[in-house]
Copies of this chain bind each other. A is one copy, B any other.
Amino acid sequence: MKTLTEYLFFQTRERREMVRITDEVADIVRRSGVREGMALVSAMHITAGVYVNDWEDGLIEDFGEWLEKLAPAGRPYRHHHTGEDNADAHLKRTIIGHQVILPITAGKLDLGPWEQVFYAEFDGQRKKRVIVKVMGE
């Protein structure tokens, strides 16, 4: 069995931002030497997510608006009694998901034609981390 663990770092310009990371993950998989296995890609901060969907700017904006409707900012959340102002970011990341497992077949990410991996930042402008753990043979 082979494993490889790496970390991706993010410090976004905007508070909310979707960052495509498919190529970075594919590169880690290549360096792992794993031919058959899985890669876990998981946000290590609880106001960020990782998801698989379309690399299309319009849809990415739709996602942002939709998440704002389902988990709006600026409400009197109890979490804000701690001094925080990011409860909505915790909720948004729950809807979009915080991790994905990508299959590796014949040494490559085994993704469908439109599958792209994204880091979803909902409370950025500071340093954050994603773990990529490859496991297989």
A contact set with B: CB distance below 8 Å: 1, 3, 5, 36-38, 40, 42-46, 51-54, 56-59, 61-63, 66, 70-71, 77-82, 87, 90-91, 94-101, 103, 105, 110-112, 114-115, 129, 131, 133, 135-137
Q: How many copies does the complex hold?
A: 3
A98 vs B94: C-alpha distance when bound (angstroms)? 12
Contacts of A82 in B (CB 8 A): 56, 58
A interface: dominant SS: mixed
Docked-complex contact A87 and B103, CB < 8 angstroms: no
- Tell me, in angstroms, the Cα distance from A53 to B87 when the chains sit together: 11
Partner of A112, one of B46, B54, B61, B81: B46
